[in-house]
């Protein structure tokens, strides 16, 4: 019961993280297998039997690091084509010309490395058409490796018998019998199928497991599973602003992943554990900033589970170096509240982003984007923020969006959802964020709240 496709997809990467995401996307939509190899020349002739074309998916840095191997690839008995993953921040015209020169003999397309499923699937279909047959319209295909590690079926699960016949093998919530697993394995089955209507549930479970290893890390005993006490108020506020239930669900799940990731750190300082239990302005700001930024991120090409989690982690840590909510409410150094502080408290306010980054430096899995967002969350247009007074073109692009959402969250919590406050926010934001590197994030922000603005 092998997959009959004239196109094979091969992910080239030293680790398996890219393979996990590509195989999840491709195998759920197309009748083909996704393979993982660590070099472009390691694809075995036996694996290429009866193939017309092999599609390689890899990062542009991988191609640059293995130039000689890519240049030595011949045509062979099958065609080779490439989807090259690039990063808009680091990938410029010079890098593109270099990649195109290396791959000049082969068909190739470029795609942002933060894969968005629909766009990626559309690209594959545009490149191969009927040569890459789609899964039945009513079903999504699920790899056994992903779906049955616990041997428990999240939803009703089927196997495919023949071209169009599907047979249910286990009901939702039941354990998969050992004899069934043994039987289908002997038959060469690599995939199960679930109804399209159930795929979203499975997909979210899989993405949770792929997110920074949050479900497999073990550190501090116990986990932080309770929602912030203000979560109902956050939901009500966002609904009144026009955020959909679906986005709220995604934000809920992402924040939970982020909180677990933090809580399960083996070297989590005791004071930070207590900080995470705050039930005041600091926790409200954290939660609302997470939700707003994830909502807006969904409107941008960067919108993917990995970046959702980055924003949620940054929002949790942003004020970790402060234990005074009145100090945390100070977002502008020209405000009267800041001017009236003692010199010691002024120092605490100005330095708290860098102190929070020091905390991140001692935690596992906190990449540079998260550190940049935390360090820059109080920067503002025209260099009027702190601690460094950076302008829009000096910031991590993710920070541009996060800053808009942080400012909005602060103003909603401190000023309320009354008409006068909302009009003032609209006016100020048009002046502050409608140009330069803030323009696109601000447009996404307006898209999220268009129905209420």
Q: What pLDDT is attached to residue 220?
A: 22
Give per-residue pLDDT as tens, 97-144.
Answer: 999 999 988 899 998 877 777 788 889 989 988 888 887 777 777 766
Residue 229 confidence (pLDDT) above 50: no
What is the model's pTM? 0.49
Cβ atoms of 433 and 404 closer than 8 Å: yes
The dotted CATH code for 1-134 is 3.40.50.2300
Query: In the structure, what pLDDT confidence band is assigned to residue 417 with cuts at 50, 70 and 90?
Result: low
Alpha-carbon Rg for the chain, nearest whole angstrom, is: 24
What is each CA distance from 406 to 63, 197, 236, 258, in whole angstroms?
A: 38, 35, 18, 17
More confidently predicted of 453 and 143: 143
**Scanning the structure block, which residue is given the tokens 């699960």?**
157
End-to-end CA, the chain: 54
Give per-residue pLDDT as tens, 392-410.
Answer: 999 999 999 999 999 998 8
Query: In the structure, what pLDDT confidence band is assigned to residue 175 with cuts at 50, 70 and 90?
Result: confident
Cβ atoms of 204 and 257 closer than 8 Å: no
Q: Which CATH class is domain 211-452?
A: mainly alpha
CB atoms near residue 411 (< 10 Å): 17
Instruction: DSSP for 426-441, please give it.
Output: HHHHHHHHSSGGGHHH
- Average pLDDT for residues 191-206, to the nearest whole number? 72
- Maximum Cα–Cα distance across the chain: 77
The torsion defined by the Cα of 178, 181, 184 and 189, in degrees rounded to 10, comes to -170
Distance of alpha carbon 333 from alpha carbon 326, whole angstroms: 14
Q: What pLDDT is attached to residue 18?
A: 82
> Could you state, in order of their start, the residue ranges of all structural domains in the chain?
1-134, 135-206, 211-452
Q: What pLDDT is attached to residue 165?
A: 76
Structure tokens at 450: 């268009």
Q: What pLDDT is attached to residue 76?
A: 64
- Average pLDDT for residues 170-179, to the nearest whole number? 79
Question: Looking at 20-29, 99-108, 133-142, 352-361, which range is the least confident one?
Answer: 133-142
Residue 244 confidence (pLDDT) above 60: yes
Question: Looking at 37-46, 280-289, 323-332, 375-384, which range is the least confident one?
Answer: 37-46
Query: In the structure, what pLDDT confidence band is assigned to residue 2 with cuts at 50, 70 and 90?
Result: very low
Beta sheet of 107-112, edge-to-edge order: 34-37, 7-12, 53-59, 79-86, 107-112
Distance of alpha carbon 179 from alpha carbon 260, whole angstroms: 36
Closest CA to 326 of 414, 394, 251: 414
58: enclosing H helix or E strand: strand 53-59
What is each CA distance from 230 to 77, 277, 287, 319, 415, in whole angstroms?
A: 62, 12, 8, 17, 16
More confidently predicted of 353 and 118: 353
CB atoms near residue 294 (< 10 Å): 28
CB atoms near residue 72 (< 10 Å): 10
Q: What pLDDT is attached to residue 99?
A: 92
């Amino acid at each position: 019961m092998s997959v009959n496709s004239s196109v094979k997809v091969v992910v080239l990467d030293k680790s398996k993280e890219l393979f996990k995401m590509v195989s999840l996307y491709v195998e759920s939509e197309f009748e083909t297998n996704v393979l993982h190899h660590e070099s472009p020349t390691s694809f075995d002739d036996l694996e290429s039997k009866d193939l017309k074309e092999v599609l390689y998916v890899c990062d542009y840095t991988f191609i640059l690091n293995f130039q000689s191997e890519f240049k030595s690839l011949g045509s062979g008995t099958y065609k080779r084509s490439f989807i090259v993953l690039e990063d808009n921040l680091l990938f410029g015209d010079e890098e593109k010309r270099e990649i195109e020169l290396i791959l000049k003999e082969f068909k190739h397309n470029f795609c942002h490395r933060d894969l968005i499923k629909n766009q990626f699937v559309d690209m594959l279909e545009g490149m191969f058409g009927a040569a890459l047959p789609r899964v039945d319209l009513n079903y999504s295909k699920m790899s056994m490796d992903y779906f049955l590690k616990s041997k428990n079926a999240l939803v009703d699960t089927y196997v495919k018998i023949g071209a169009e016949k599907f047979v249910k093998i286990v009901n939702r919530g039941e354990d998969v019998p050992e004899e069934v697993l043994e039987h289908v394995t002997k038959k060469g089955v690599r995939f199960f199928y679930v109804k399209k209507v159930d795929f979203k549930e499975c997909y979210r479970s899989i993405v949770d497991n792929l997110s920074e290893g949050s479900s497999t890390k073990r550190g501090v005993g116990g986990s932080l599973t309770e929602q912030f006490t203000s979560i109902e108020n956050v939901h009500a506020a966002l609904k009144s602003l026009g955020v959909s239930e679906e986005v709220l669900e995604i934000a809920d799940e992402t924040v939970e992943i982020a909180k677990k990731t933090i809580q399960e750190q083996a070297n989590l300082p005791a004071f930070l554990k207590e900080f995470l239990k705050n039930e005041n302005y600091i926790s409200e700001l954290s939660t609302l900033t997470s939700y707003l930024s994830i909502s807006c991120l969904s409107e941008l090409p960067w919108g993917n589970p990995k970046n959702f989690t980055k924003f949620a982690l940054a929002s949790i840590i942003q004020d970790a170096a402060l234990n005074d909510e009145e100090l945390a409410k100070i977002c502008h150094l020209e405000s009267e509240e800041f001017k009236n502080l003692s010199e010691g408290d002024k120092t605490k306010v100005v330095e708290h982003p860098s102190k929070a980054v020091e905390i991140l430096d001692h935690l596992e899995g906190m990449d540079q984007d998260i550190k940049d967002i935390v360090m820059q969350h109080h920067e503002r247009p025209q260099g009027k923020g702190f601690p460094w007074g950076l302008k829009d073109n000096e910031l991590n692009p993710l920070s541009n969006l996060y800053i808009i959402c942080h400012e909005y969250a602060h103003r909603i919590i401190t000023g309320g959802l009354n008409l006068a406050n909302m009009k003032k926010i609209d006016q100020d934001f048009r002046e502050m964020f409608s140009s330069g590197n803030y323009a696109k994030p601000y447009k996404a922000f307006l898209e999220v709240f268009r129905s209420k603005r």
